[in-house]
Amino acid sequence: MGDVKRQAVRVAAVLLAAGSSSRMGGRDKIYAPLAGRPLVYYGLALFEECEEVDAVVAVAAPGAEKKLRRLASDYDFEKVRAVVAGGAARRDSAAAGLAAAAALASPDAAVLIHDAARPLATRALVRRLLAALATADGAVPAVALVDTLKRIGDDGAVESTPAREALRAAQTPQAFKLAAVADAYRAAARERWDVTDDAAALELAGGRVVSVEGERDNFKITFPEDLARAEAVLSHKKKGR
């Protein structure tokens, strides 16, 4: 992982790999094997292969920075410029990654924030997100819902059934103008906003966030069985080449 000139970085990527893996039966999903490689490999490879991305910041669990740095070196991921420690919550990890990205990038740079637990995002999706920043401060991939949603009360009773036509499931990576999302995260910390994804901070700060078409295969590895599903997708793609 070498140095990079500040003015050379117009698009940075932050890969969040500091999750607790609480629903993976005690295993650290970031390093769980997927088609012969650790899960975190795929997010790093995505950005390494994207011509549009100039530098990558990887966010590791506290104390695991050396392990992630070594993995990036073993796979010759030359765009990984920094590996930093995450925080107690996802928003803390994102803020740490953004701070490191800002130290590398030009003031008018764009940034992508991605969850390492989504190994199947594509370069085409990255390009759609970055193109959307021409008219917005942020862009998120979204897919239409297929299930009916129910709002459930504390007593378990159904309170309402929201119309799903205007609802979408958000994914990562999400793309932003770096200055705008960094300002939004500072506001979120100051105001103690409870945000569940990066776009939410920008939305609350008054930024314009648009959606682009997401990808059905870009699901999040949450449970052990999700790894088998991802293996099947990768095997199908390999056979289709």
Q: What is the pLDDT of residues 139-180, one digit of tens each?
A: 999 999 999 999 999 999 999 999 988 899 999 999 999 999
Is the domain covering 6-143+169-239 a CATH 3.50.50.60 domain?
no
Confidence (pTM):
0.92
Q: Is 106 exposed, middle or buried (0-12, 13-18, 19+ CB in 10 A)?
A: middle
- Over residues 41-83, the pLDDT tens digits come to 999 999 999 999 999 999 999 999 999 999 999 999 999 999 9
| CA distance between the termini of the chain | 31
Q: How far is CA 144 from the centre of its chain?
A: 19
Residue type present at position 165: E
| Domain ranges within the chain, ordered by starting residue | 6-143+169-239
